[in-house]
Each structure stands twice: as structure tokens, then as C-alpha cells.
Amino acid sequence: MSLNNNKPVLPQSKKLTLGLFGFGVVGKGLYDVLHSTPALQASIKKICIRNADKKRVIPQEHFTTDANELLHDESINVIVELIDDADAAYNIVKAALQKGKAVVSANKKMIAAHFEELLHLQHIHGAALLYEGACCASIPIIRNLEEYYDNDLLSAVKGIVNGSTNYILTKIFDDGLSFKDALLQAQQLGFAESNPALDIEGHDAANKLSILLAHAFGRIAAPSEFLYTGITSIKKTDADLAKQKNLKIKLVATAQKINDSQIAAFVLPQFVEEQDELAGVSNEFNALITESSFADKHFFKGKGAGAYPTAAAVLSDIAALRYNYKYEYKKYLQENTPELSNDYYLKIFVSADDIEKIDKDQFAWIEEWHNEKNNNWVVGIIQSALLQQNNWWKQPGVSLILTKNPVVQNVEYREIGKKSLELAGVI
Amino acid sequence: MSLNNNKPVLPQSKKLTLGLFGFGVVGKGLYDVLHSTPALQASIKKICIRNADKKRVIPQEHFTTDANELLHDESINVIVELIDDADAAYNIVKAALQKGKAVVSANKKMIAAHFEELLHLQHIHGAALLYEGACCASIPIIRNLEEYYDNDLLSAVKGIVNGSTNYILTKIFDDGLSFKDALLQAQQLGFAESNPALDIEGHDAANKLSILLAHAFGRIAAPSEFLYTGITSIKKTDADLAKQKNLKIKLVATAQKINDSQIAAFVLPQFVEEQDELAGVSNEFNALITESSFADKHFFKGKGAGAYPTAAAVLSDIAALRYNYKYEYKKYLQENTPELSNDYYLKIFVSADDIEKIDKDQFAWIEEWHNEKNNNWVVGIIQSALLQQNNWWKQPGVSLILTKNPVVQNVEYREIGKKSLELAGVI
């Protein structure tokens, strides 16, 4: 055959005219990235900012403080939302979708909080909302969950999804920094949310797990529906113990099928062994492991925080809009979507400055018991529902860290729990 | 808003009726996988095999030896080609595309050999050909190159793309097996091609690099157009030296932009440091690293050989066909696709049982020179074109192993080469 006849041509792609909300680190990053990719044929027409008086690196005429100047501009067909304030972001995204404009956002909090409504708004107005940058910044996880793991074989998604806390943990463990100094460094490098509590108390990771749950398993769940915490409670004695046992402590988000119709989901600190892939994920890097019956384990690693990695994901979404890409939410729209369960057991380590703070009666099984002045700890099995319903493990001076492979499904623990406590000499 | 009005529904997906060619390990794997995913709504109508007399695990009526029974069956809308013979595979795929049937294949040799024609056949007949399983088995790299790295920011793709050689190298390095025993194990476990020369001489990895080049950079190039070799020449003395220096030897495929319009591409053994991500890729695992200006490095790891991992990728392609997914080959169709270059320099290690076998005059710079009975080696810089044009380094007793970050772009070496040899006391 002659290859010159009928040579394929590139499908005509949409010319994109962007309206950008926010010009913080990611917004500026996107501006730089766009200027390095002329082939993309996307240009920023106007940038809406909150503070008109702030000095900017580009001329003043690019900016406005009036959102409507972007939303009502017919020539703008894509709104890129990169502001911090989740409520303001929600109003912008909603208004843009209602006007039929495509939207790219990296606001995990806003997306996790309004997931179902945003999905319906896309459907009603026929406009796409893409948010690859909202989950693990530059790692293309949402698109892979949507496109590649598009079947019922996926059994788990877990990993390190918050760059700021991972940076802090790395600096504490590897460089011996104090929590405070490590946090300060993360903030200076632009890895931390402007409100650091979002990172260090686990809210940001929980928002990302919420987004992962929807795309991995079709289950829409707000962070309040599952178990999560951050890294603020991790004590020096915990870090010392981990080092002594050649373990690292990582904040790990997990969504794991426990049977055909139920998922366990949680974000908790976890001990990881040195040879575990997650142990090698340092600083602001994020990583995800997918597990499926036949493909087995896949490991994805990339920068999970910072202006450019997030901007790169936003850019990739913008590029996809040229070809009218949108998430199809197939798993959510399928029947028999698995439910979140809180009837599974977790094998945990709990340490406390005062032994009385550990509510040992809640354990179904206690495997180890260490009682030393100012350094008391227990390794045992506990029902997840009891952790979700009670706050004793969130008291100051108490830290909870998951063990390796923490999900225990053996329901016999229900019966033998008391007996184990007797055996342990605890009751 | 009420979420019950206008509830989105799952887009109607195509019912797929499959005709399967080949029932070897991957074919059988796919059969198993399909029976575990009823939600996919894809069924195998007929399986074409070469040998009708072979005993099969499923009833005889599923099989035929007549290809036309599948190709002429109007009810079969997807041909899944999983046979070994690349020429026969090509004829099947071509005939299927000409009949407007979608095709899924995992035959890297066939795809690399006929890339451009297969692309045009898809265009002319409006039928999709998907082949995720042809490159790193279960790792979703082709789809990510097509969809996520869809811009001009990608600067390199490199990694371990052949599971069989990686298995052999792991067994030699970690378990002290002989090459022969390690190869035998790989074959017994179903990781090796039926003709092991395809793996161990680097042809399979080169075919995969050829496919990666097309999807990463839009450059279609047959393996004969770039530098490649396998692992057969690696000697015990090389392995000992590597161990002594805390290095591992991996067969690494690299496609790397050397400037805006040129790419360096090669598959060669390479020393990797222990802390390098590729050093942690063991046994039949594959891994790829993408490098781009803003997203920085991404690391993907997964099983790169074996029946189920390949079948999982094939399944994912089948699932994508329900929604009429096809590769768009955007980078190939764009103007100004970068060319392959052979005018770059590589920093290499070459060892030989006889020093005379090392053609030292070809080096532009010699950094180290080790001369010992039966163990002679050189570390130096050489122009890639000279390696491509000459075969001295492919003689028995000679092995070539790349150093870390082997691509050297400093053209000054052209001038100073001779001088360096003088300084080294070699000439």
C-alpha cells in the first residue's frame, strides 16, 4: 500500500481561551508552563485575583478582581480555578459549569466536599470538570483509574498522597529536624497548604482519598465518613522506636476492598519496612500502589507538591480539553457500587505518655504490651468502628500508628478479644 | 439543586464479541481473566489455534484452525491477536483492520516492524488497534504517553522493558545463578519469549523502545535504526566488578531528547547505583521513568512479563474498545517531530578478555584504563555513530555497559579525543 495516500491528519483540536482564577504559586507556575508549550495553543485571556494592589510579575492589564469579567466572557471557554479558598472556588466552578464552560481545578477540598453535585452539574450542562492536579499533583492517577483500571479487578489503592507531611516526616527521620522546623521548611518551599492544619491534621490526605475512592471504586464519601488523622501526634519516642526496628513512619491513605461489596478506607500514620516501596518515597514525593487480581501491583511515584508539578497536571487537563476529554465516572454509574465498611479490624500500635490514656477494653486482641514511665505502648487489634466512634486515641500524648498490612478480616476476634486481654495479663 | 433529577446514566457501551487468535499462556490468561469480569460484557466466540490436536483445558468446540472463521464472522467485532509468530500476526491484524474490526494485540515485534502501515490501516478503515500489553505488559505506559504526556514537555522515557532479561540478571546478581540456569528458570515461569534470543539479545526490548519512541515523541523508527544489544555478553568479571562497586547491571532502554529536534535512543546494559530506582526493580518486574520539564520525574513499576499481567493489559484495551477508544498518534501527526540522532556521545565501560579487542582509537576520551590478564577494561567516551557502525564491541569476550547518565553532549570531545589518549598513555 502507498503510505502517502490518505495520510491521517491530526483531528482538529479546540482552540482554548483560558480564564484563570488565582495567581499564587500554582497559578504562576501554570503561567510559566503555558509559555513553554506553544504547541498547546492555549492562552490566558484574563486572571482574576483577590488583591489588586499586590505587585505582580506580569503587566497589570492581565488582572481583574471581578469574577464576572471571566465568567461572562463568551470567548473564554475554559476556567482554570487555582485559588485557596474552597468555598469561593466552589462558587466559581459552579458558575462556570452552569455557563457551559469547561473547568480545570486542583482544589481537592472543594472537589471532595461537593463531589456528587459537581458530577451532576457536569452532566446537566454538558461541561467537563477535570482535576488531575487535585490528587498527588503530577502523578496521573485519576486518569489511570478512569481509563486503565476500568473494570472490577481493582482491589486496593493506597499510598502517600500528601507531599507536605511526607516532607516533614522525611526531615524528622533522615535529618533529625524538629517537627516545627520541618514544617517551616515545607512552608518556605511552597509544599504546604497556606493553612498547615489541612496538611498535618490529615484533612488534605483525606480529601484526596475521597477523590480516589470515587474514581477507583465508584464510592462517593466525604472525609467525615471514614477514619483519618494526621501526623501531629507522632512523638519522638515513636520515631526512636521505628528507627530501632528499621522502620519508617509514613502517612498512608488506603482504600481496600474487604469483600465484593465493601471497602475499608482510612488515612493513618503507618510503619513501613525499609524494603517496602513506600519507604523509599522521600520529601515532597507522593506515591500510589494499585493492586488488582491480574495486573498485580503497580507502583506510581512522582512529585506530589510544588508549583510546577501541580501546574503540569493542570496543563495536562487543559491539553485533554482540546479533545473534549471528560471523566465518565463509569464505576459510580454502574450498579452494585461497593459500600464503605466500618466493620473491619485494624492491627495498630498505640503509644501514650500515660498508660491510662490507652482504652485497652476496646481492643479485640492485644499482642504486645510495653509499660515504661512516659513510654507506654500496645500493639493490638481493634474494630475500626470503635476508632471512628471514640476519641481516646486522639488525646494529646497518644499516637496511633498502623502496622504493616493492617486490615484484619478475621471476625473471630470478636469472641476471643476478652480472652486475649486475660492472657496478656491486662485485665 | 435536586440530585435526583437528571441523574447521569452510564453511556451505552458496545457489546463486544471477541475472536481470539492463540491460546498460549497469555491467551489462556485472558480467558481466565474474562471469566472473572462479568461486568465487562465481552465474550470470546471462537479461538483460532494452529494445532488442533493439542489437548486444551476448555471444550473443543471453542476452537478452530481456520482464521477465516473468525475474520469473516460479522458478529465478531474485536479480534484479539495473541500468537507468537510475528508474520502470521501481521496478516491477521491487517485482515481484521481491513474488515473494520477493532484489534487488540500484544505482539511488540509485529507492531514495531509495521508501525506506520498499521497506523494508516487504522485510519483508512476507521478501526482501532490497541496494544498496551505489547510494552511492559501490565504497566499502562502507552495510554499515559498518549493521554497524559500530550505536550512538548517530555524530555525522556527510559527503563527496564524486558522482564525475562531482568529476571535473569536478578538471579545472576542476587542468587548467584549461572546465566544458563537463570534463563531456564525464566522460561519455566513463562517470562521468556518462545525464542529466547528475542529477549537475551535485546530484540524484544528494542521493539518496545520502538513503540515507546512513537508514542513518546512521535518518531517512528525500527530497531535497526538505533543502537541496541542484550545481556549475553555480560561476563562474571563484569558482575564481580559491579558488586564490588555496589552497582547493579540492568538492561535499560532509553529515549532521550538531546535538543529540540533530536533524540538519542538505545537499549544497552547499564550500571545503576543502589539508590537508583531502577536498582530496586527485580525479577520479572519492569519499570519506566518519564522526565518532563515541569512534572519532573515519574516512576512506574509493575509486572512486565507473565500470562496474567499481559492479559490484564489486553483486558484493559478490550474495556477501552467498549467506549471506542483509539490512539490518536498526536505527536506523530504534529509537525516538527524530532529526529533520531547518532551524533551524540556515550560514556561507556568496555571489558574484554583480550585488550586487543578494544578498539581504543574509536574513543574520544579515555577516563580509566585497566589492564590485567583476562580482565581488561576501559571507561571512556565514544560517539554513538561509531558504535552503530562498528562491531568490535559485539565480539565474543567483549562487553559494553553504560555508565550512569551516559549521554554526553559536549562536542569538544571531537577535538580533544586524541589528546586524551595521549595523556592516558594509550597511544
Which of B5, B10, B291, B294 to mutate to probe the A interface, most A CBs <10 Å?
B294
User: Which chain B residue has its CA at the smallest distance from A295's CA?
Assistant: B309
- B3 burial (CB, 10 Å; 0-12 / 13-18 / 19+) is exposed
Residue B117 with chain A: CB contacts under 8 Å: 1, 3
Which listed residue (A208, A248, A250, A303) is catalytic? A208
Whether the predicted pLDDT of B5 surpasses 60: no
Nearest by Cα to A10 from B178, B347, B330, B27: B330
CB B110 within 8 A of CB B83: no
Domain boundary among A285, A302, A319: A302
Q: Considering the domain boundaries, does residue A338 fall inside one? A: no
Report how far apart, in Å, the C-alpha atoms of A188 and of each of A167, A169, A193, A306, A416 are: 12, 16, 11, 11, 51
Percent of chain A with pLDDT over 70: 93
Q: Considering the domain boundaries, does residue B50 fall inside one? A: yes
Tell me which DSSP letter residue B354 carries: S
Q: Which residue has the cell 507492531?
A: B111
CB B101 within 8 A of CB B41: no
Q: Considering the domain boundaries, does residue B213 fall inside one? A: yes
Tell me which DSSP letter residue A40 carries: G
Q: Which residue has the cell 547493579?
A: B248
Regarding whether A72 and A149 lie in a shared domain, the answer is no
At residue B83, what is the residue type?
I
CB A119 within 8 A of CB B8: yes
Whether the predicted pLDDT of B196 surpasses 70: yes
User: Which chain B residue has its CA at the smallest distance from A7's CA?
Assistant: B120
Query: What is the spatial distance between Cα A249 and Cα A169, in angstroms, rounded to a whole number?
Result: 7
Task: Tally the domains of chain B.
Answer: 3
Regarding whether B392 and B261 lie in a shared domain, the answer is no
Question: Grid coordinates in use for B102?
Answer: 477493532
Regarding whether A361 and A292 lie in a shared domain, the answer is no
Question: Grid coordinates in use for B402?
Answer: 553504560
* pLDDT at residue B426 in the model: 47
Q: What is the pTM of this model?
A: 0.92
Question: Grid coordinates in use for A424?
Answer: 496478656
Nearest to A298 among B139, B149, B323 (CB): B139
Regarding whether B204 and B252 lie in a shared domain, the answer is yes
Nearest by Cα to B20 from B86, B78, B101: B78
Q: Which are the contacts of B386, defined by CB distance < 8 A and separation ≥ 6?
A: B362
Q: Which are the contacts of B297, defined by CB distance < 8 A and separation ≥ 6?
A: A302, A303, B289, B290, B291
Q: Which domain CATH number covers A168?
A: 3.30.360.10
Q: Which domain CATH number covers A95?
A: 3.40.50.720
Per-residue pLDDT of B318-341, as tens digits, reads 999 988 899 999 899 988 899 999
CB A79 within 8 A of CB A92: yes
Nearest to A33 among B9, B280, B294 (CB): B294
Nearest to A143 among B132, B148, B303 (CB): B148
Question: CB count, 10 Å around CB of B190?
Answer: 17
CB A185 within 8 A of CB A179: no
Q: What angle do CA B140, A127, A42 make, to 5 degrees?
A: 70
Query: What is the spatial distance between Cα A61 and Cα B156, in angstroms, rounded to a whole number?
Result: 38
Query: What is the spatial distance between Cα A427 and Cα A421, in angstroms, rounded to a whole number?
Result: 6
Per-residue pLDDT of B404-422, as tens digits, reads 999 987 655 544 455 554 5
* pLDDT at residue A3 in the model: 47
Q: Does A335 touch chain B (CB under 8 A)?
A: no
Query: What is the spatial distance between Cα B276 and Cα B404, in angstroms, rounded to a whole number?
Result: 10
Domain boundary among A134, A155, A190: A134
On the CB side of A49, CA atoms within 13 Å amount to: 19
How far apart are the two ends of chain A, measured CA to CA in Å?
A: 83
Regarding whether B127 and B43 lie in a shared domain, the answer is yes
Tell me which DSSP letter residue A329 carries: -
Whether the predicted pLDDT of B350 surpasses 60: yes
Q: Is A41 left (phi over 0), alpha (psi -120 to 50) or beta?
A: left
Per-residue pLDDT of B220-229, as tens digits, reads 999 999 999 9
Q: Does A174 touch chain B (CB under 8 A)?
A: no
Q: Which are the contacts of B83, defined by CB distance < 8 A and separation ≥ 6?
A: B21, B22, B24, B50, B89, B92, B107
Query: What is the spatial distance between Cα B89 and Cα A185, in angstroms, rounded to a whole number?
Result: 57
CB A286 within 8 A of CB A162: yes
Domain boundary among A134, A165, A182: A134
Q: How many helices (H) and strands (E) does chain B have?
A: 15, 17
Nearest to B312 among A1, A294, A316 (CB): A294
Per-residue pLDDT of B236-275, as tens digits, reads 899 999 999 999 999 999 999 999 899 999 999 999 999 8
Regarding whether B294 and B148 lie in a shared domain, the answer is yes
At residue A89, what is the residue type?
A
On the CB side of B310, CA atoms within 13 Å amount to: 31
Regarding whether B191 and B164 lie in a shared domain, the answer is yes
Regarding whether B294 and B209 lie in a shared domain, the answer is yes
* pLDDT at residue A131 in the model: 98
Q: Which domain CATH number covers B376?
A: 3.30.70
Contact B151 A117 (CB under 8 A): no
At residue A86, what is the residue type?
A
CB A152 within 8 A of CB A294: no
DSSP assignments along A181-204, one per residue: HHHHHHHHTT-S-SSTHHHHTSHH
CB B197 within 8 A of CB B328: no
Residue B121 with chain A: CB contacts under 8 Å: 1
CB B392 within 8 A of CB B359: yes
Q: Is B397 left (phi over 0), alpha (psi -120 to 50) or beta?
A: left
Regarding whether B297 and B148 lie in a shared domain, the answer is yes
Q: Is A58 left (phi over 0), alpha (psi -120 to 50) or beta?
A: beta
Angle between helices B163-175 and B236-244 (to 10 degrees): 70
Query: What is the spatial distance between Cα B176 and Cα A326, in angstroms, rounded to a whole number?
Result: 51
- H helix runs in A272-350, sequence order: 307-321, 330-333
Q: Which are the contacts of B396, defined by CB distance < 8 A and separation ≥ 6?
A: B233
* pLDDT at residue A201 in the model: 96
* pLDDT at residue B413 in the model: 52
Q: Considering the domain boundaries, does residue B2 fall inside one? A: no
Regarding whether B291 and B199 lie in a shared domain, the answer is yes
User: Which chain A residue has its CA at the smallest distance from B122's CA?
Assistant: A8
Residue B217 backbone phi and psi in degrees, to 5: -125, 0
Contact A294 B33 (CB under 8 A): yes
Question: Grid coordinates in use for B141?
Answer: 505506559
Query: What is the spatial distance between Cα B213 and Cα B221, in angstroms, rounded to a whole number?
Result: 7
Query: What is the spatial distance between Cα A380 and Cα A384, in angstroms, rounded to a whole number?
Result: 12
At residue B302, what is the residue type?
G
Structural domain boundaries enclosing B381: 345-423
- A189 burial (CB, 10 Å; 0-12 / 13-18 / 19+) is middle
Query: What is the spatial distance between Cα B189 and Cα A61, in angstroms, rounded to a whole number?
Result: 65
Question: Grid coordinates in use for B269?
Answer: 546494559
Q: Considering the domain boundaries, does residue A316 fall inside one? A: no
Regarding whether A128 and A155 lie in a shared domain, the answer is no
Q: Considering the domain boundaries, does residue B7 fall inside one? A: no
Strands, DSSP E only, in A328-415?
Answer: 339-340, 345-352, 363-372, 375-383, 398-408
Instruction: Name residue A299's beta-bridge partners.
Output: A289, B301
* pLDDT at residue A191 in the model: 82
Question: Grid coordinates in use for B226?
Answer: 538505533
Q: What is the mean pLDDT of residues B71-97?
A: 96
Regarding whether A195 and A120 lie in a shared domain, the answer is no
Q: What's the sign of the alpha-carbon dihedral B307, B313, B316, B321?
A: negative
Question: CB count, 10 Å around CB of A135?
Answer: 28
Is the model more confident about A36 or about B389? B389
Residue A330 backbone phi and psi in degrees, to 5: -60, -40
Per-residue pLDDT of A80-94, as tens digits, reads 999 989 999 999 999
Q: Considering the domain boundaries, does residue A227 fall inside one? A: yes
Question: CB count, 10 Å around CB of A100?
Answer: 10
* pLDDT at residue A427 in the model: 41
Per-10-residue mean pLDDT of chain A, 427 residues long, equals: 57 85 91 80 92 85 95 97 95 98 96 97 97 94 90 90 96 90 90 86 97 97 96 92 95 95 97 94 96 92 90 92 91 90 94 93 91 88 95 95 88 51 48
Q: Considering the domain boundaries, does residue B1 fall inside one? A: no
Q: Which residue has the cell 469579567?
A: A69
User: Which chain A residue has its CA at the smallest distance from B4's CA?
Assistant: A120
Strands A285-292 and A339-340: unpaired
